[in-house]
Amino acid sequence: MEAPTKYAKSGDVHIAYRVFGDGPHDIVMIPGTLSHVELYWELPANEYILKRLNSFARVIVFDKRGQGLSDRVAQQTLEERIGDVRAVLDAVGSKRATILGWSEGGPMSLMFAATYPERTAALVMFGTFASMSAAPWELSQERFDRFLAAVDARWGEGILAALNAPSRVNAKAFVQWFGRLERAASSPGAIQELFQADYENDVRHLLSSIRVPTLIFHRKDDSLVPVAVAHHLAQNIPGAKYIELSGSDHLLQSLDHDQLDLLLDEVEELITGMRHRPDSDRVLATVMFTDIVRSTERAAELGDARWRELLNSYYAVLRKELTTFRGHEVNTAGDGLLATFDGPNRAIRCACAVRERLRPLGLQVRSGLHTGECELIGDDVGGIAVHIAARVAASAKPDEVLVSSTVRDLVAGSGLRFADRGKHALKGVPDEWRLFLVQ
């Protein structure tokens, strides 16, 4: 993730790019509507994607002209935009690369593969299209105009989050991050020019001339691009392999872990002829979930400005105590925080310290802890241990630190005292679990 940002010259336009890894094969990633070669790749799912791809390939990412860190010029033709891809490949010394494009990057990917077959090793597409206005999508001018008006009014607020990932629209932190990406990627006027060009572009006539190995992925209930569009691509690109995935989120990074691994396995096999999924990194850790009690009501009482100020103080307290007790912040969502510790004793003491430090701020929190084997997924963690900790936290009352019996047993002799809260059925977790209150 330390790859520096560099610039390739495409005519008079500077195109920002980064190169990850040094594998024997090259993959150039053509992004959807939003791109920012630095901010976009901070997302944990993207780090996992890069890690998997780097196990067999060098990965090249770039910002399209007019976006992100590339020159903010007016949107140009598809021909000029695929010229930018060539310029980046030339700058990094790549003679031939697999084109991996998604969403709005689809028409560019299709045109590049058709125009430069000698530079295209393979073509991989996810959730994309050849035309918005023509069949089988046939997005009406009226609906498109309404969309442009909404973009103009709410750009930078995360307006595209609902379109790209409807299942995550209530995840406040995710929507805020999406809004930040919108602001960093483009301006309201420039993005409307891009959307207008997308609406007018039609590369369907190029499909039959694509002669490179092609993989097409699409979600069955894609909320943005109808699945019929993917069927049309697969039927008209000679020899294309089509894989349909369940789910409705359009965003590539919203695939669940198994779906993402399937996609990456298929890409690896397409490029190398074999699959070699690396063993998951697993570690024993104590997982802590903490969130604010009655956060919605407090936010309404205080108003947006004062609530944001209080949240900043809340996270400052959490992070100070995590540093003190050697915890690792995994992620935040709204007013919740997920952290891991290499020892359950420190995790319990951290949760208790956070509770005490927040009382002067007028905040009550609930915390839940469980120790178990976790799967490392980039900067994120997964596995049943994480789910159990989340359910333990949900069972806690205001100002309570609740732990599983596993945690209680591991800190025997530490001087910590517990009250037995009995057996609980934790939603989505097998069996009943005995929980204990830290006194």
Please list the ranges in the chain whose pLDDT falls under 70.
Answer: 1, 75, 277-281, 334, 377-379, 428, 430
- Residue 119 contacts by C-beta under 8 Å, 6 or more apart in sequence? 86, 89, 95, 96, 97, 112
Note every long-range contact of 45-51, with CB atoms under 8 Å and residues 24 or more positions apart, other chains counting: 45/253, 45/260, 45/377, 45/378, 45/380, 46/253, 46/378, 47/1, 47/378, 47/379, 48/260, 48/377, 48/378, 48/380, 49/253, 49/260, 49/264, 50/1, 50/20, 50/21, 51/378
Residue 420 to residues 144, 226, 398, Cα–Cα distance (Å): 59, 52, 17
Residue 52 to residues 267, 278, 396, Cα–Cα distance (Å): 10, 8, 38
pTM: 0.67
Confidence at residue 158, expressed as pLDDT on a 0 to 100 scale: 92
Q: Which amino acid is at 101?
A: G
Confidence at residue 175, expressed as pLDDT on a 0 to 100 scale: 87
Confidence at residue 160, expressed as pLDDT on a 0 to 100 scale: 93
Q: Which domains does the chain have, with CATH numbers?
A: 6-272 (3.40.50.1820), 281-438 (3.30.70.1230)
Confidence at residue 332, expressed as pLDDT on a 0 to 100 scale: 78
Residue 428 zone, left/alpha/beta (φ > 0; ψ -120 to 50; rest): left
Q: Is 102 within 8 Å of 46 (Cβ atoms)?
A: no
Question: What's the mean pLDDT when you consider all of the chain?
Answer: 91
Confidence at residue 387, expressed as pLDDT on a 0 to 100 scale: 86
